[in-house]
Amino acid sequence: MVADSAEENAFLKALDLVRAQGCALAVIGGGTNLIVHDDGFRGVVLRYTAREISRSGLHVRFDAGAVLQTLVDFTIDHGLSGIETMTGIPGWTGGAVYGNAGAYGRAIHQSVRSVRFYDGAAVREFNNEQCQFRYRESTFKDHKNWIVLSAELDLAEGSAAALRLQADEILKVRNAKYPPTMRCAGSIFKNLLLADLPDGVRSFVPAAAVREGKVPSAYFLELAGAKGMRNGGIEVAAYHANLIYNAGGGTASEVVQVIDELKDRVRRQFGLDLEEEVQYIGFGPERG
């Protein structure tokens, strides 16, 4: 992969300086799936903003500060297939690698060739296997002090026109579910792997509810009465039980109250522990 850039060096110097001072630190990307405490964050927030994207044959390299949609459009325009289903997912590419983002049967780990990151002492590079990708997880989530700097994808040849058509159709569906003007952090809870469910619950779930080996958390949330639930200015969408949004004047504490209530309902009714897909800032280690 490419040598260190001036932007990378500047970011790492700032990161080391903050850590040396012992300040509370949050490194964020686009911030699209964050819930920030109403009192803010008493510390330093850093963003890595290098955003170059380049291509060599079927390989695409990108900096972690590149917007994910920009990367998706780049691959489509160059007739490269692999991440076109991620069109419309907000945020930056570093966060996409960190959380193994995906949609419509594809996740970014299926295309990742390698990832460069800073472990607090040195810049290192992992291949796909070393990244330990799982559903919405990676080794970078396991080691939150490791910072993704850049990555490379291995993609396949495709028709730019066909890829664009597919992406446009997906974007229509996504925008209908998550209107661009809606104030939300996307899906709140991760879906559940069918194979990991208790036998009693697994046998209860109809085949029609299973998608690519996963049961949408919305299935259980709907049965628990989540749709239309309201707490102050925070609402659960009447058409999607895993969509919590700010209808106006809502607070982070109200969001957290709704999340905790829904987790409690699903736990009591099904014996399942839902896990958030969103990340918390300023809430302390209990929501780290």
Of 81, 111, 150, 187, catalytic:
187
Q: Is 187 a catalytic residue?
A: yes
Coil, helix or strand at residue 17: helix
Of 136, 164, 202, 267, catalytic:
136
Local structure of residue 145 (DSSP, 8 states): T
Q: Is 54 a catalytic residue?
A: no
Q: How far apart are CA 250 and CA 236, in angstroms?
A: 12
Q: How far apart are CA 273 and CA 266, in angstroms?
A: 7
Q: What is the DSSP string of 192-238?
A: EEGGGS-HHHHHHS-GGG-BTTEE-HHHHHHHTT-TT-EETTEEE-T
Q: How far apart are CA 178 and CA 153, in angstroms?
A: 27
Tokens found for residue 150: 């850049």
Tokens found for residue 228: 């239309």
Q: Is 277 a catalytic residue?
A: yes
Give the Cβ contact number of residue 205 at 10 Å: 16
Local structure of residue 5 (DSSP, 8 states): P
Nearest in space to 162 (alpha carbons), one of 103, 91, 76, 223 = 76
Q: Are 252 and 234 in contact, with CB atoms under 8 Å apart?
A: no
Q: How far apart are CA 91 and CA 129, in angstroms?
A: 24
Q: How far apart are CA 75 and CA 6, in angstroms?
A: 25
Q: Look up residue 152 and give its amino acid.
A: E
Nearest in space to 159 (alpha carbons), one of 54, 75, 103, 88 = 75
| Residues assigned a catalytic role | 136, 187, 277
